[in-house]
């Protein structure tokens, strides 16, 4: 466990250094989006073509949002498009509006894989982790439902850092830091299939460090139906698959914005927090494994 944690931390530190180097690069400031994207393409892990049609200079915030969205799409394509895939980035000005598109010719996402979507279709951000646990599904299911972030030093520290702006404003410590993750956490459980899968979901504004607007409490149908601007729909699932005498436990987070503005703001936020988000999910899976394997002995 400790060796895995050290490996994850080393990887995270490396990614953070790369991220820090890439935030608001000088070439974006000096040459705008075409120059910055050409430089990004030279470093990309997948063959990429950039096509520009009249794109000029735009407000700094807009250029940064488009640049980082393109970067995220390139990274996702490199991870998931498959061998031999290529990417095309189109950047154009249309009736005084900036339009961009990132597309690849890879294998795409298999919608038959994973748990129910509970309303988060057309997801724009996705993160998945899995772990093989030497315990039967019943033990893994029980361990998952007893999981508390207060038992996890790394996750607790990262969540405390994220909650600091709210704490400075005098708001109470988020309950997720002490409560059971699924049953008592701030994101309600929307669907559950005993010893097979559980999905929690809500709408939120996580880029607002002090908490943002209080989100409405929604069931799965309400989450599917909401289209009010300014939110992202978020769902996190845990899926259990029997693997001989063991269990394959996976967790996937899916995010879809209700409008372009929310998508851009979340895209920038995601670039900053995704390393910590991955560390927390790895920490969760290790904790479930530790508890489930302990009871299975």
pTM beyond cutoff 0.75: no
CB 128 within 8 A of CB 277: no
d(CA 69, CA 61) in angstroms, rounded, equals 12
Residue 246, pLDDT > 60, answer: yes
Arithmetic mean of pLDDT, 10-39 = 68
Give strand pairing partners of 235: 201, 254
Contacts of 73 (CB under 8 A, 6+ apart): 87, 102
Average pLDDT over all residues of the chain: 79
Residue 230, pLDDT > 50, answer: yes
CA 267 to chain CA mean position, Å: 10
Arithmetic mean of pLDDT, 30-51 = 89
Give how far Cα 44 sits from Cα of 126, 161, 190, 268, Å: 20, 31, 38, 19
pLDDT value of position 112: 46
Q: Strand pairing of 87-94 and 48-53?
A: parallel
Residue 292, pLDDT > 80, answer: yes
pLDDT value of position 137: 95
Binned at pLDDT 50, 70 and 90, residue 164 comes out as low
Residue 252, pLDDT > 60, answer: yes
CB 37 within 8 A of CB 64: no
pLDDT value of position 250: 92
What are phi and psi for residue 200, nearest 5 degrees? -115, 145
Give strand pairing partners of 202: 234
**Where are the domain boundaries for CATH 3.30.565.10 in the chain?**
15-104
The CATH code for residues 125-296 is: 3.30.530
In degrees, rounded to 5, the angle at the alpha carbon of residue 201 between the alpha carbons of residues 286 and 77 is: 70
Q: At 268, is the secondary structure helix, strand, or coil?
A: helix
Residue 111, pLDDT > 60, answer: no
Arithmetic mean of pLDDT, 253-268 = 86
pLDDT value of position 27: 80
CB 123 within 8 A of CB 255: yes
Express the helix, strand and coil content of the chain in percent, nearest 5 each.
Answer: 45, 25, 30
Of the candidates 83, 192, 196, 210, the residue with the CA atom closest to the CA atom of residue 141: 196
Tens-digit pLDDT profile for residues 47-99: 999 999 888 888 877 888 788 788 878 877 887 777 888 999 999 988 778 89
Of the candidates 173, 197, 202, the residue with the CA atom closest to the CA atom of residue 186: 202
Q: Is 253 exposed, middle or buried (0-12, 13-18, 19+ CB in 10 A)?
A: buried
Give strand pairing partners of 51: 90
Residue 8, pLDDT > 70, answer: no
Give, rounded to a whole angstrom, the gap between the first and last alpha carbons of the chain: 17
Residue 193, pLDDT > 50, answer: yes
Tens-digit pLDDT profile for residues 204-223: 888 886 666 788 888 888 88
Binned at pLDDT 50, 70 and 90, residue 183 comes out as confident
Arithmetic mean of pLDDT, 37-56 = 88
Binned at pLDDT 50, 70 and 90, residue 268 comes out as confident
d(CA 210, CA 230) in angstroms, rounded, equals 16
**Where are the domain boundaries for CATH 3.30.530 in the chain?**
125-296
* Packing angle of the helix pair 137-145, 260-296 (nearest 10 deg): 120
pLDDT value of position 274: 79
Torsion of CA 70, 73, 75, 81, to 10 degrees: -140
What token pair was written down for 248?
A: 């394959």
The CATH code for residues 15-104 is: 3.30.565.10
Binned at pLDDT 50, 70 and 90, residue 186 comes out as low
């Amino acid at each position: 466990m400790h060796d895995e944690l050290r490996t994850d931390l080393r990887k995270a530190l490396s990614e953070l250094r790369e991220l820090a180097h890439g935030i608001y690069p000088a070439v974006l400031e000096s040459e705008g989006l075409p120059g910055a994207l050409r430089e990004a393409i030279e470093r990309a892990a997948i063959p990429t073509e950039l096509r520009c049609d009249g794109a000029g200079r735009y407000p700094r915030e807009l250029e940064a949002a488009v640049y980082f969205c393109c970067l995220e799409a390139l990274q996702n394509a490199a991870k998931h498009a498959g061998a031999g895939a290529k990417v095309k980035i189109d950047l154009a000005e249309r009736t005084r509006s900036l339009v961009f598109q990132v597309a690849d010719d890879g294998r795409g996402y298999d919608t038959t894989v994973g748990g129910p979507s509970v309303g988060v279709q057309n997801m724009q951000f996705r993160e998945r982790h899995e772990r093989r646990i030497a315990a039967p599904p019943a033990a893994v299911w029980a361990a998952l439902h007893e999981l508390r972030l207060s038992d996890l030093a790394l996750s607790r520290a990262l969540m405390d850092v994220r909650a600091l702006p709210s704490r400075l404003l005098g708001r109470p410590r988020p309950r997720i830091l002490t409560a059971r993750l699924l049953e008592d956490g701030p994101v309600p459980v929307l669907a559950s299939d005993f010893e097979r899968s559980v999905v929690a979901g809500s709408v939120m504004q996580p880029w607002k460090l002090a908490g943002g607007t209080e989100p409405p409490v929604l069931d799965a149908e309400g989450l599917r139906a909401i289209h009010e601007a300014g939110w992202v729909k978020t769902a996190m699932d845990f899926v259990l698959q029997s693997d001989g005498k063991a269990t394959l436990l996976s967790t996937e987070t899916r995010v879809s914005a209700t409008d372009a503005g929310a998508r851009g703001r979340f895209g920038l936020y995601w670039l900053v927090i995704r390393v910590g988000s991955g560390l927390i999910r790895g920490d969760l899976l290790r904790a479930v494994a530790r508890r489930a394997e302990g009871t299975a002995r």
